[in-house]
Structure 1
Amino acid sequence: MYNTDIPTRAELPSSAQLLRSTAIAIVAAAGILVTIVLPAEYAIDPTGVGRMLKLTEMGEIKTQLAAEAEADRLKDSQTTPAQAPATPSPDQRSSLFGTVLAGLFVSPANAGERLLLAQAPASRTDETVITLKPTEGVEYKLTMKAGAKVDFAWTARDGVVNYDMHGTPGAGAKEKSYKNGRGSAGEQGVLTAEFDGSHGWFWRNRGSKDVTITLKTTGAYGEIKRMM
């Protein structure tokens, strides 16, 4: 049986070689950070490489949508702190009836959302129509359990919108963005929940006239509701 020979001292890398390799790795990591990560995530592009690769535009969309969503949430919480929930449509009342009864036996804090998550139907279908005035933004979310999937398709009529598809684990938790875009007339695909919570879309009309968004959803979710 043959074992590999132990390398001699001369074959081992010297301290200078190790330092040089470490320095090269640090420089490479810094280069990736400056040319790729910062432009794509934060729209910070000191070298101009990110804009050449169209990464800076991606970062601008992310930061703009995040800032707009946060500004709308703050405005909504300051102007309408006690806003009453919207009355459910007739076709939603029957599915929510069991949830309301069960809510009588659950702690009031977050009871509705927890029950909707626990009793989410195997599948449901909704069509939601939203009209956005110029500069207006709106957010709609689905209550979903981790791993649940929803087929969706939305279209913008009479214009285009900026959007961000994201999920929120719970009150006060940090949102996770799944996909975003600017100047879009519509998107379709499958929304997969990475965790229990609310998942959906934020749209902003940056045009000069009203835009009507039609959202169609089919899949495993407890409810669909307007957040702002």
Structure 2
Amino acid sequence: MTEETQVQVEGQTTRPPSRSRLALIVGGAVVVATVVTVGFLLPAEFQVDPTGFGRATGLYKLGTPQPKTATVAAGTTSTTREYPTPYRTDTIDIPLAAGGDENRGDELEYKVQMKAGDSFVYSWSVAGIPNPEEFYYDFHGETPAGPGVPEAKVVEYKQATGTGGNGTLIAPIPGVHGWYLQNQSRNPVVVKLKLSGFYNLVPPGGYGNLNNIEANKPVAAAAR
């Protein structure tokens, strides 16, 4: 090859690709971009998987928010509890005579039977007492004396005056748990008690219900 021919070759301008080849190149790029978007980007980022490729390869999980699991330190009290005692709900009307009743109808105890660890939610109220200081209650639990229990064990929860209360109880000891109620006002009243949880009713006349109160039976106020 002569020197003149070499100069001519080096000086040649590269010819642009034909329209058909350019269309082929652009089309290929579009196809590749579509495959990447549909097969990879949508499953991984937006949890959209029209082809199923994302689920098959695990890409779908990359964009799925993962739940956080809280770690409870050893020895920490569990936040769940299961009970062998069936769940129940009861409404108890407790009539009390006016304060100073000669037959002591102005006071009584009402309790329910519970195992240690059993629990209930309670709400009680009493109407017709202008002065809340004239109604006294003692919320407590008791393991009665008996076989294997030489003397009764009592756990106090709250002693106060007032005309209502709400709360929960987890029984610390087996036995009966509830209230001693005393009406010191001049009016006969009915205490409205609602219980929900895991416990057993004490039958009328049983220990903790010596005044024969029947649950789920509305009653009128005692006579003046």
Q: What range describes the TM-score normalised by the shorter chain of this pair?
A: 0.3 to 0.5
TM-score (norm 1): 0.45
Higher helix share: 1
Q: Which is higher, the Rg of structure 1 or of structure 2?
A: 2
Q: Which structure has more RCO (C-alpha within 8 Å, separation ≥ 6)? A: 2
Normalised by the length of structure 2, the TM-score is 0.46
